[in-house]
Amino acid sequence: MNTVVPGKIGRFRYAAFIALIATSIQIAVGIPAIAAPAEQNPPAQQVPVQPPLPFPVPPSPPELDPGFYAPPADLVASKKPGEIIAAREVHLAFNSVIPFNIDAWQLSFRSTNTRDEPIAAVTTLMKPRGDNGGAPRPLLSYQFPQDSNAQYCAPSYVLQQASVPGDITGQFDIPFEFVLPLTALGAGWAVAMPDHEGPNSAFGVGPLGARITLDGIRAAENFEPMGLQSQTKVGLAGYSGGAITTGHTAELAASYAPELNIVGASEGGVPADIKAMYKMASGNLGAGLILSGLLGVAQEYPDLAAYNQQHMNPLGKALTPVKNSVCLYSAALFPFMNLEGGLYDSPDPLDDPVPAKVFDTLRMGHSVPSIPMFIFNSNPDWIAPVGPVNTLVDEYCRDPKAQVHYTRDHFSEHITLEIDSMARVLLWLKDRFDGVPAEPGCSIHDEGSMTLDPASWPIWLQGAGTLLAGLLQRPIGSR
């Protein structure tokens, strides 16, 4: 989960521009295509695909598009998890303005909430242009840090051409982080980007996001135009608010969707223990963001919503509709607030039975992922404290079957590591897609900066080349 830092995106764009010059306008992305044995196509759903909106007709935000985002409950209940309800072609764009020359769709599909009730969810898919040399494509499921309690802050709206730009709505992270899945697309990987907070924008609820993510992968594999194989290699990645869902997805995959061939998961800036984050944020700069998370959690857990209604003071109740209506601007509301003593009539609200039960459910570590994990965190991290991440790794590594590569970055903090880690994430996932075995057991690495790894430097250049190719309307991913 990330706070708003003035100038962050501008500085990164400037750095990307310099990198573009350094590449001598390298258009071709150099990550090798994935070589894997050919497999039989799974039975794909033949669903009508709505055509894209002609520019400059703007897409409707989810709140005003119930036909796609909120189909009838009986229709949703009639579907199996991951079964597609509706599909439409979309134009994705740089900062909502400059379209990319790619194939992209959005799927409405059936998933399940934390109370085992059927819900509709949405994912955005991208397919590279070209046939990948005849080799099966892998699939990257990328979980953005939506970090907001309103639907118009979700990736499916923010990434579309002619949507209200994130610089206006306050959804800064999604357009900024789009460079990572776009680079993956240039490498020939298919990409799925779920609205993992679900229909109620339940910010911070990893168990819900995990179900939506796994069913979104099922939907992507079921969607015929994506051309994915029955045993498509799948990689998971997410940072901060996206790591909440990614971590829970890795833990839940074996029991919820054992048929999926997930080969690895990367998560950074890890909110391993939401309760610990809440306590650390109280009275500090990140208080406004973490309060948004608390209110987002209540949108999925009725018992917590009832507790808030009964025990929150007038200030907390007054802030709720405001914070639930805006994107990351919400993080700037009431920084340094006393979250523990200034919102409730209880002296220790998080230790009361209802909140304690909910926050224990949200804690990572209830099961050990059966897939290789790449976990990284800044030390210190002022939003996602490193202590609970250390504890999580220790819990995982008590299992002799665990495969965990854990890196602590000592020159970064939460926001700078979001940038510094991108190339390493792609490099680690590339090895998993290439069939390179993850190192056995568990390893912990303390590094100055993840950017100092020379093996990752070509990935930065490839990402810059892909971004420039897209801005120049070159087909991304074609070979």
Residue whose C-alpha is closest to residue 323's, from 314, 332, 336, 310: 332
Under CATH, what is the fold of the domain 274-361? 434 Repressor (Amino-terminal Domain) (1.10.260)
Tokens representing residue 472 in the block: 């120049």
| Arithmetic mean of pLDDT, 441-455 | 95
Residue whose C-alpha is closest to residue 233's, from 271, 268, 263, 258: 263
Left, alpha or beta for 76 (phi > 0: left; psi -120 to 50: alpha)? alpha
The pLDDT of residue 282? 87
The pLDDT of residue 43? 63
Q: At what angle do helices 274-281 and 386-397 cross, to 10 degrees?
A: 160
Dihedral sign, CA of 130, 132, 138, 143?
negative
The secondary structure of residue 133, as a DSSP letter, is: G
- The CA–CA distances, whole Å, from 293 to 108, 113, 286, 355, 363 equal 25, 18, 11, 13, 14
- The boundaries of every CATH 3.40.50.1820 domain in the chain are 49-273+363-471
* Rounded CA separation 350/436 (Å): 44
Under CATH, what is the fold of the domain 49-273+363-471? Rossmann fold (3.40.50)
| Range name among 114-128, 334-348, 395-409 with the lowest pLDDT average | 334-348
Highest mean pLDDT among 15-29, 275-289, 408-422: 408-422
Residue-wise pLDDT for 129-143, tens only, equals 888 778 899 999 999
| Arithmetic mean of pLDDT, 356-377 | 97
On the question of pLDDT at 27 being above 50, the answer is no
**Residue 10 one-letter amino acid:** G
Phi, psi of 53 (to 5 degrees): -70, 135
The pLDDT of residue 49? 96
Confidence category of residue 13, pLDDT binned at 50, 70, 90: very low
On the question of pLDDT at 447 being above 60, the answer is yes
Average pLDDT, rounded, for the chain: 89
The pLDDT of residue 108? 98
* Rounded CA separation 168/337 (Å): 25
On the question of pLDDT at 410 being above 90, the answer is yes
Residue-wise pLDDT for 185-211, tens only, equals 999 999 999 999 999 999 999 999 999
pTM of the model: 0.90
Residue-wise pLDDT for 360-369, tens only, equals 999 999 999 9
On the question of pLDDT at 24 being above 50, the answer is no
- The boundaries of every CATH 1.10.260.130 domain in the chain are 274-361
Confidence category of residue 46, pLDDT binned at 50, 70, 90: confident
Please give the share of the chain, as a percent, with pLDDT higher than 70: 91
* Rounded CA separation 325/152 (Å): 9
Q: Which residues contact 193 (CB under 8 A, 6 or more apart)?
A: 123, 124, 125, 126, 141, 142, 143, 144, 155, 156, 159, 181
Helices (H), 166-286: 166-169, 173-177, 179-186, 206-222, 241-256, 274-281
The pLDDT of residue 36? 32
Residue-wise pLDDT for 91-121, tens only, equals 999 999 999 999 999 999 999 999 999 999 9
